Amino acid sequence: MRIEWWILLSVYAVATGIVFFIPKNKLRLAVVAFLFTQIITFLIGLVVVELGLLKYPIRLFTTINRTSFTFEYYAFPVVCSAFNVWYPNDRSTLIQLGYYVGVGSLLTLVEVIIEKYTDLIEYIHWEWYITLLTICLSFFVTRLFCVWFFEKGYSNT
């Protein structure tokens, strides 16, 4: 089996592991963040691939979709859920900004390494800083939605 398939399996294992660490009292927040992030990644992911900015040479469901199902529909939404669950609400703006940049930078670093050494992703008209920007923007938009959703009283908590 090629290294790319081992990486995909590992991503599924790690993302699933993250799910088990979400506290029970935050499950609603995690589910809302997960589903909302899937909406964002579905739309943006398709646009980016169709415009030829990124390419995913090795991926699941090759005949159905040219985006990375693993990243767009599972791994990133899980990470975004965890991001929202453990968001430092009661901390300073500087800490909150650092949280965005720190988590976004970690994901960007992993993607850059994967892009450089595997065939899972290929940058065509894309750069690492665009990844960092889009990840942080996705976190921000999802965070805004979750705050709005739960402030409106749609939760029983």
Per-residue pLDDT, 156: 47
pLDDT-wise least confident of 55-59, 110-114, 128-132, 133-137: 55-59
Domain-embedded: residue 77:
yes
Query: 149: which DSSP letter?
Result: H
Residue 132, in any domain of the structure: yes
pLDDT of residue 59: 87
Burial bucket for residue 20 (CB in 10 Å: 0-12, 13-18, 19+)? exposed
Quick: pLDDT tens for 68-95: 999 999 999 999 999 999 999 999 999 9
On whether residue 40 sits in a domain, the answer given is: yes
Write out the E strands in the chain.
54-55, 122-123
User: pTM of this prediction?
Assistant: 0.90
157 pLDDT band (50/70/90 cuts)? very low
Indicate the DSSP class of residue 125: S
The percent of residues in the chain predicted with pLDDT above 70, rounded, is 96
Q: Does 115 map to a domain?
A: yes
In a domain, 135, yes or no: yes
Range of the domain at 7: 3-148
Dist. CA 20–CA 28, nearest whole Å: 14
Q: Identify whether 153 is part of a domain.
A: no
Please report which helix (H) or strand (E) contains residue 55, including its range. strand 54-55
Instruction: Say if 157 falls within a structural domain.
Output: no
154 domain residue, yes or no:
no
pLDDT of residue 151: 86
- What domain count does the chain have? 1
